Structure 1
C-alpha cells in the first residue's frame, strides 16, 4: 500500500504531573476534553495527520508521565524526539519552576539541536494564575525557545502550539537537507574536471590514449 504521509515528525510532551499534557494531546487529536482522567503511567502516544507547505505530515506525539519514578522510562524517548514541548500549569508556580529540571533532562538525554517549545497550560483559569505571561516569556527567551499559553479546557491555542513546534522541526529539517545538498554540490565541484579547459588537454602526452 502507498504510504499515507511524506514526513514523520516525532514530538515529546514533558512536564510535571497534572499540568494537562494528556488533555492537550486529546484536544489536538480531536478526541475532546477528558475530565477527570487517569494519570499517565510511563508513556503513551497518539498520532495525527497534518498538511504543511503541501507536505503530508504524520505527527507522532509521546505523552510522558510527570512523576519522578518514571523518569528512567521516559528518558529513553528524548533522543528519538525531533521536538519537545515543555509544559507547566500557569496556576502552579512549582510546575513552572520545575521547567528548569525538565530542560536539564532534555540537555542530558536529547539531541543537541532538538527543537523546544515552552507551553503555559490552563490559561482559562485567570483567577488562579500564579505565573504571569511575562515570566513565561522571559524564561523562554532566556533558554532560546518559543513560548505560548494554552487551555485544554477551552481548547485555546492547542492546535497552534503543536503546529508551531512542527513548523520549527520542519524548518530545521529543511536547513539540514539544504546543507547536505550544498556539501554534495561542493564535493562534486571539487572532484570534477572541466573537459572544456584546454590547459588540461595534452599537458602530459603519456596520459593520452
Structure 2
C-alpha cells in the first residue's frame, strides 16, 4: 500500500514490561500471555489514517536486558517516536526510566517524540506505581503519558496514534527535516505525487 509518510518508532524499557505485547496488540489486536523474551529487536508495522493521509508506522520492539543495550542504542538513530514503557506492578521498572530516557536523548534526534507508557493497568490490585507518579515524571521530562493494558487493549491504539499525531503536527509546522533519515520520517510516493501535482498547478496558474 502506498503511503504519504512512514514514521519509524522504537519501544524501549526494562525486560518484561510488556513491550512486545503492546506491539502485538496494536498490530494484530491480540494478546499473547506467554511471550519469549525479545532477543535483539522485533519488528511490526501498521497503517493509520490522519487528516485523510495514509501513514505507515514502522515499529521496532527492543530487548530490555542490559546485555542487549548496545544493540538497542543503534536503533535510536533515525527514530521519529519512542514509547518508554514501565510496568505499574514493578517499581524497579519505573526507577530505571531516567536511564532509558538519558540513552534515548543521547543517541536519537532531539526532535524525537517520546510517550511515557505505564503498562499492565489491568493489574490494579498489584499496582506499585501510582498514576500520579507517572504523570509527574512525564511533566518533569516533557513527555506525553498514558497508562495502558496490552491484555485488554486499553489505550494501546491511542498511545501509538497520539505519538503519530504529534509527529505529523511537527511535519505540518516544518519542525522536521524530511530530506534525511535521521528524523525517522520518510516521505512516501503519495506525498510526492501530491506535491508534484501542486507544483504543476502553481506553474500553470503563474503565468503568461
TM-score range, shorter chain: 0.7 to 0.9
SS in 2 for 1:164: helix
Moved over 6 A (4+): 177-180
Q: Please say if 1:23 is aligned against 2:21.
A: yes
1:72-83 equivalences under 5 Å are: 72-83=70-81
Per-residue displacement from partner, 1:60-106 (whole Å, max 9, x unpaired)?
Answer: 01000000111111111101100011000000110001111100101
- Tell me the residue number matched to 1:56: 54
- Tell me the residue number matched to 1:164: 162
Aligned residue among 99, 102, 116 for 1:101 = 99
Per-residue displacement from partner, 1:114-172 (whole Å, max 9, x unpaired)?
Answer: 11100000000000000000000000000011000000111100001001111111111
CA distance 1:179–1:128, change in 2 (3 Å)? closer
Any gaps of 5 or more consecutive residues in structure 1? 181-209
Task: Give the Å deviation of 1:177.
Answer: 6.3
Larger radius of gyration: 1
Q: Please say if 1:116 is aligned against 2:114.
A: yes
TM-score between the two structures when normalised by the length of structure 2: 0.83
- Tell me the residue number matched to 1:35: 33
Per-residue displacement from partner, 1:32-81 (whole Å, max 9, x unpaired)?
Answer: 10120111000011010011111100100100000011111111110110
CA distance 1:141–1:32, change in 2 (3 Å)? same
1 CA distance for matches of 2:80 and 2:170?
A: 9
Aligned residue-pair number? 178
- Tell me the residue number matched to 1:146: 144
Q: Alignment RMSD, CA only?
A: 1.6
TM-score between the two structures when normalised by the length of structure 1: 0.82
SS in 2 for 1:160: helix
Any gaps of 5 or more consecutive residues in structure 2? 179-208
Q: Please say if 1:132 is aligned against 2:130.
A: yes
